[in-house]
Amino acid sequence: MTLLRGEKLALVRGGRLLFEELNLSLEPGEALHVTGPNGSGKSSLIRLVAGLLKPAAGRIERAAAALADEGLALDHELPLRRALAFWRGPHLADALTAFDLDRLDQVPVRLLSTGQAKRARLARVMASGAPLWLLDEPLNGLDRKGAKQLAAAICAHRDKGGAVLAASHLPMAGEWRMLELGS
């Protein structure tokens, strides 16, 4: 069962062709690391796979996905746990523990630091139980401990038959297939 299949994808943004004839596929347990210079369309590819952008050509099929990008999408006045609970993730308790957010769960979202907010986004992805994770620059803002927690979460997700598509200009821990855009 393929979790993501994209065939002959092309994406145009602002009149500029970012990529074309791009083929993507992710099987359970696989992870794909998208790299490339700034402006090569890494984030756009993530949004395209998420269904938030339409391809200029080609087609995409994917399983249920969860996205962590720059949008925090949590109500700023609510305590972290209640803000995350709005998204109805079935594994919220595990996700809070995995990203060491248990101690922060009563803290209002607006008081979280950059790294804590990043972990909250990743915790939402993990809590969702979706088989396909879409991570846009997941290491930005994370300290070393946070990066380790992320690597452990990704590893556990892949062991359970999930797949990960990550766009990052930083090296990711573990075994990844690489896809370089703009080359």
Q: Which residue has the tokens 């997700």?
A: 157
Asked if 154 is part of the footprint of other proteins (rule: CB under 8 A), the reply reads no
Among 7, 32, 87, 94, interactor with other proteins by CB under 8 A: 87
Which CB atom, from 72 or from 107, has the smaller least distance to other proteins?
72
Q: Do β-strands 16-26 and 4-13 pair in parallel, antiparallel, or remain unpaired?
A: antiparallel
Torsion angles phi and psi, residue 155, rounded to 5 = -60, -45
Nearest Cα to Cα of residue 116 among 160, 84, 159 = 84
Asked if 15 is part of the footprint of other proteins (rule: CB under 8 A), the reply reads no
Cα distance between residue 180 and residue 73, in whole Å: 29
Asked if 17 is part of the footprint of other proteins (rule: CB under 8 A), the reply reads no
Q: What is the smallest separation between the CB atom of 75 and other proteins, expressed in angstroms?
A: 7
Distance of CA 4 to the CA centre of its chain: 14
Cα distance between residue 110 and residue 96, in whole Å: 17
Residue ranges of alpha helices (H) inside 37-133 are 42-50, 80-85, 92-98, 114-128
- Binding residues for other proteins restricted to 29-68, rule: CB under 8 A: 47, 50-53, 64-67
Binding window for other proteins (CB under 8 A); candidates: 15-23, 83-91, 95-103, 145-153: 83-91
Which CB atom, from 117 or from 152, has the smaller least distance to other proteins?
117
Asked if 88 is part of the footprint of other proteins (rule: CB under 8 A), the reply reads yes
Asked if 86 is part of the footprint of other proteins (rule: CB under 8 A), the reply reads yes
Give contact residues for other proteins (rule: CB under 8 A): 13, 47, 50-53, 64-67, 69-75, 77, 86-88, 124
